[in-house]
């Protein structure tokens, strides 16, 4: 693959996209913020229109599982990791998205 721009995975990095449930721009800040200073994650971009989080990461340093757990730790459910009820309930009212089953 060709590295072109900041959002292309470098050698040794993987690019993945998965669903993270959320509502608004504030959710976006929280979700992306949860991964902003995480070693091994070079890019995290959540789209509120389709609830997709795109991440670029180095699988030697962090697993996709850990990434999903970090997102759950700040209150957001993904396709496989569920946030603790107590964390979810502390999100601002506008951010209390409809939780998946």
Chain positions contacting Cu ion, by CB under 5 A: 23-24, 26-27, 95
Question: Which CB sits closer to Cu ion, 35 or 56?
Answer: 35
Question: Which CB sits closer to Cu ion, 57 or 76?
Answer: 76
Structural contact between residues 73 and 83, judged by C-beta atoms closer than 8 angstroms: yes
Instruction: Give the shortest CB-46-to-Cu ion separation in angstroms.
Output: 11
Closest CA to 21 of 56, 54, 48: 48
Question: Which CB sits closer to Cu ion, 31 or 67?
Answer: 31
Closest CA to 10 of 59, 64, 52, 51: 59
């Amino acid at each position: 693959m060709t590295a072109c721009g900041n959002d292309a995975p470098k050698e040794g990095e993987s690019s993945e996209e998965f669903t993270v449930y959320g509502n608004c721009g504030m959710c976006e800040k929280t979700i992306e913020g949860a991964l902003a200073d995480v070693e091994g994650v070079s890019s995290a971009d959540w789209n509120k229109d389709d609830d997709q989080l795109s991440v670029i990461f180095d699988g030697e340093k962090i697993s996709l599982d850990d990434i999903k757990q970090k997102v759950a730790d700040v209150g957001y459910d993904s396709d496989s990791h569920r946030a603790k009820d107590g964390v979810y309930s502390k999100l601002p009212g506008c951010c209390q998205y409809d939780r998946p089953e």
